[in-house]
């Protein structure tokens, strides 16, 4: 939308073009189109960078989930994929649901113990999780990478050595 100044400028340029046989309106339009193209190029670059940052952030969230699950594996041994509603499990369960279950990197089963109490059983898709981590897997500590490889192998599929690379 053109403001008052722009309209006045184009009116004066049009009068000048007619009086002097010039092409000032055309030059002004070309100058503005060039500026607009520059702005559009910057917007596209920012959108691409934002998309890349969102992908990296999601990969880091998945990595955080892996660290949390590894910690649960070390402390809960047998029931490390079982979560109880309320109490200490709730924040970790919310994290896992948001970043593993919603993007379909894991499934979850819910069992009602009482009207206000639930047990959740997590079923991670380790292959999908390893793939979703992308380049952020390189930032993980060696022990967590080995653990992830063991989980992947334990899922009944051959362990991928590329996780370690």
106 has a pLDDT exceeding 90: yes
How many angstroms separate the CA atoms of 120 and 108, rounded? 7
pLDDT confidence band for 165 (50 / 70 / 90): very low
Say if residues 65 and 81 touch (Cβ distance below 8 Å): no
Give the range with max mean pLDDT: 7-11, 88-92, 130-134: 7-11
pTM here?
A: 0.70
Q: Hey, CA dihedral for 149, 138, 128, 110, is it positive or negative?
A: positive
Q: Where are the alpha helices (DSSP H) in 21-125?
A: 24-76, 89-96
43 has a pLDDT exceeding 90: yes
Helix, strand, coil % over all residues of the chain, rounded to 5: 70, 10, 20
135 has a pLDDT exceeding 80: no
159 has a pLDDT exceeding 50: no
Average pLDDT over every residue of 49-75: 90
Q: Hey, CA dihedral for 100, 103, 107, 108, is it positive or negative?
A: positive
Please tell me the predicted confidence (pLDDT) of residue 46: 97
């Amino acid at each position: 939308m053109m403001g008052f100044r722009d309209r006045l400028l184009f009116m004066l340029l049009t009068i000048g073009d007619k009086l002097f046989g010039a092409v000032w309106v055309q030059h002004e339009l070309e100058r503005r189109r060039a500026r607009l193209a520059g702005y559009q190029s910057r917007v596209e670059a920012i959108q691409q960078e934002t998309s890349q940052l969102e992908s990296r952030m999601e990969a880091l969230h998945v990595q955080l989930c892996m660290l949390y699950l590894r910690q649960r594996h070390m402390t809960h041994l047998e029931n490390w994929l079982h979560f109880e509603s309320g109490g200490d499990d709730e924040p970790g369960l919310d994290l896992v649901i948001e970043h593993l279950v919603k993007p379909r990197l894991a499934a979850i089963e819910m069992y009602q113990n009482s009207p206000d109490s639930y047990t959740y059983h997590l079923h991670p898709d380790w292959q999908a999780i390893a793939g979703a981590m992308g380049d952020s897997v390189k930032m993980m500590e060696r022990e967590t990478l080995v653990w992830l490889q063991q989980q992947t192998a334990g899922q009944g599929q051959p362990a991928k050595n590329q996780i370690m690379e």
